[in-house]
Amino acid sequence: MAPGEAPDMVLARSHLDLHNIRNSIDRTKKMSDGVIKIGPFGLGLDALLGFVPPLGSAYSAGAGLVLVIDGVRARAAPMVLAEMTLILAIDTLTPYIPKAGGIIDALFTGHKWAADLLLRHMDETIYFEGSREQAQASSEYRDLMARVRAGKEKRRVVFLGKSPKV
C-alpha cells in the first residue's frame, strides 16, 4: 500500500458497495439535519445536541467523520474531501460561538451540505467494476472514450478493481 492510499478493504469494489455507501450518506444526512422537517428546513440531532457544545460537537465530529470515510470509500476526489472536511469542521465548531452558537449550528446544515456535495460528486463519476485493463476490453469503455475524445463526456472515471501488479 502506497503512502496516503486507503486499504483495499475500505474502498468500494462494486456497484453494490457504492449503493451501500449512498445509503450510509443518506442516513447520516437525515439523522444530522433532517429528522424533523419544517417546509424546506430540517432539524436533526446536530441541531438539538448543538445547544450542549461538548455533546453536540462530539456528535457532529463523529457524523462528519462517517461522511468523510464514505467519501474515501467512494473514491471521491481529494478536493471534494477537502471541501467536505472544511464544511464539517465549521459545523462542528459553531456551537462554541458565544451566545448564538446553538442557533447558528441549528441553521447551518453542514452535514446535509457535505452529504449533498459527495452525492453530487458520485453522480458525476462513472464507475467501472474491475481494473482499468479489464474495463479497456469492454465496449462500454470504448464508447465512453469515444465520447470523451468527441468532447461529449466530462465526468471522471473510476475503476473499482485492482490493476495487476507490474
Residue keyed to cell 469515444: 146
User: Who has greater pLDDT, 49 or 70?
Assistant: 70
pLDDT category, 164, cuts 50, 70, 90? very low
What is residue 11's predicted lDDT score, i.e. its pLDDT?
93
Closest C-alpha to 79, from 130, 32, 117 = 117
User: Who has greater pLDDT, 122 or 166?
Assistant: 122
* For range 67-73, the mean pLDDT: 98
- Give buried/exposed letters for 132-143 (b at 16+ CB in 10 A, else e): eebbeeeeebee
Mean pLDDT of the chain: 88
Q: Which residues contact 60 (CB under 8 A, 6 or more apart)?
A: 32, 46, 49, 50, 88, 91, 92, 95, 105, 110, 111
pLDDT category, 58, cuts 50, 70, 90? very high
Note the pLDDT tens digit of each residue in 77-99.
999 999 999 999 998 888 888 88
pLDDT category, 6, cuts 50, 70, 90? low
pLDDT category, 154, cuts 50, 70, 90? confident
pLDDT category, 3, cuts 50, 70, 90? low
Identify any residues that bridge with 37 across adjacent strands, giving them in sequence order. Answer: 42
Task: Give the number of residues written for the chain.
Answer: 166
Note the pLDDT tens digit of each residue in 95-145.
888 888 778 877 788 999 999 999 999 999 999 998 999 999 999 999 999
pLDDT value at 60 more than 60: yes
What is residue 87's predicted lDDT score, i.e. its pLDDT?
96
What is residue 8's predicted lDDT score, i.e. its pLDDT?
61
Identify any residues that bridge with 126 across adjacent strands, giving them in sequence order. Answer: 157
pLDDT value at 166 more than 50: no
